[in-house]
Structure 1
Amino acid sequence: MPINFKEIFTVFMVLFAVIDIVGNIPIIIDLRKKVGHIQSEKAAIIAGVILIAFLFLGKSILNLIGINVSSFAVAGSFILFFIALEMILGITLYKEEDTNPITASVFPLAFPLIAGPGSLTTLLSLRAEYDIKNIIIAVILNVIVIYIVLKTSRRIERFIGQNGINIIRKVFGVILLAIAVKLFTDNIKILLA
């Protein structure tokens, strides 16, 4: 099947909304303050590899270890929930001494913030509807956008200012909390049915 630009655009927009890298700017800035430096290239590439690998192997891996997609999404919702609490309440749940720039680029940045349960479960549902080539192109385009945002987060921080960041942090904390609750409730219903 040939490359379909309409499909690529649709999948790109769906993933862009679910990954919400612009909404994660306050978390990225916070993480950068905790660890000093984030390896933007590493975080973007690892997130891209996780997304593409999950596209092909996701259901099989989860089935192999006896976990369904809903259980995976519920577990991920807890991680998002605690990150949201940090943002809203201004508390620190991650131990700072355990976080160094290399691991911070992978966890919690590449996973679960970028390639999290929301984006991974979305990929599984997109695979049923769209051609795999178009999904891969959309994932790569999202990874490029993620890299640009990660690389320019300091400039964005300077432009918005500390008060702006605090406001955005609280607002997106509430949004992230709502996403975590929605992910939890949608999938807990399936598990309890």
Structure 2
Amino acid sequence: MLGFDFKEIATIGMVLFAVIDIVGTIPIVVDLRQKYGHIESEKASLAAGIIMITFLFVGEELLNLIGIDVHSFAVAGSFVLFFLAIEMILGIRLYKEEEASSASIVPLAFPLIAGAGTMTTLLSLKSQFQTINIVIAIIFNIILVFIVLKSSAKIEKMLGKNGLGVIRKTFGVVLLAIAVKLFAANVKGLFH
């Protein structure tokens, strides 16, 4: 039925959940809420969803326009994911975000939720999975993002600093394994 596959949706969903790392960004969300008072969860979630789905459909054409093939982008993406995973596991910051001026679209929807890692992952996933399954996984993740943003204060109190750290490191290891798999699956395509 149109390539609809629960196993694929679950796999893609887990990959996107690890890349988006909404639980790991709770400390940033809390900081933004303290700076700007209110976080527009609906606006941020909707904007991130639109950015991700749009990029899923026009990202490849955009790459073709500038002369980059999907395998090259996927290999580059595996490096981005690798470094994101290293950040999560070791608790270091390699990528420095610009200072925010408002908390709804920038930096929450982009680049925190739908950032470079997410975009790269989407195109890499597109080379391996059915588009319909990716779209469904994006929608599930956006719903999760919305729920987490809405209840970020409760989650922070419930998990505490140590709980958030454990979750972040666990998803870092998952992301590292995904980066290695992505690299292995696409590096052969560079030489054909």
TM-score, normalised to structure 2's length? 0.73
How does 1:106-185 map onto structure 2 within 5 Å?
106-113=110-117, 115-123=118-126, 125-127=128-130, 136=135, 139-185=138-184
Q: Distance in 2 between matches of 1:139 and 1:147?
A: 12
Partners in 1 of 2:124 and 2:83 — Cα distance?
Answer: 20
Matched-pair contact (CA < 8 Å) for 1:15–1:122: yes
Greater alpha carbon shift after TM alignment, 58-67 vs 33-42? 33-42
Judge conservation of contact 2:12–2:134 (CA < 8 Å) in 1. Answer: no
**1:21: Cα distance to partner?**
5.5
Structure-2 residue corresponding to 1:28: 25
CA contact (8 A) 1:58 1:124 kept: no
CA RMSD of aligned residues (A): 3.3
The alpha carbon displacement at 1:137 in A equals: 5.5
Maintained 8 Å contact 2:20/2:114: no
CA–CA distance in structure 2, aligned partners of residues 26 and 135 of structure 1: 21
- TM-aligned CA distance change 1:165 to 1:11, over 3 Å: same
For residues 68-79 of structure 1, what are the structure 2 equivalents within 5 Å? 68-79=69-80
* Contact map agreement 1:52 1:136 (CA 8 A) in 2: yes
1:40, 1:147 within 8 Å by CA — same for their partners in 2?
yes
* CA distance 1:123–1:80, change in 2 (3 Å): same
How far the C-alpha of 1:153 sits from its partner, in A, is 3.1
Aligned length: 184
Unpaired runs of at least 5, structure 2:
none
TM-score normalised by length of structure 1 = 0.73
Contact 1:51–1:139 under 8 Å retained in 2: yes
Alpha carbons of 1:52 and 1:158: their partners in 2 closer, same or farther (altered >3 Å)?
same
What displacement does 1:36 show? 4.9
Change (3 A) 1:91 1:164: same
Please give the alpha-carbon distance, in whole angstroms, between the structure 1 residues aligned to 2:119 and 2:144: 16
Matched with 1:93 is 94
The structure where helix makes up a greater share of residues is 1
One-letter code aligned to 1:60:
E
- Trace 1:42-53 onto structure 2 (pairs within 5 A): 42-53=43-54
CA deviations over 1:96-124 (Å, ceiling 9, x no partner)? 5x2324532201421235x3322333245
| 1:138 Cα deviation after fit | 5.5
Greater CA drift, 160-169 or 25-34: 25-34
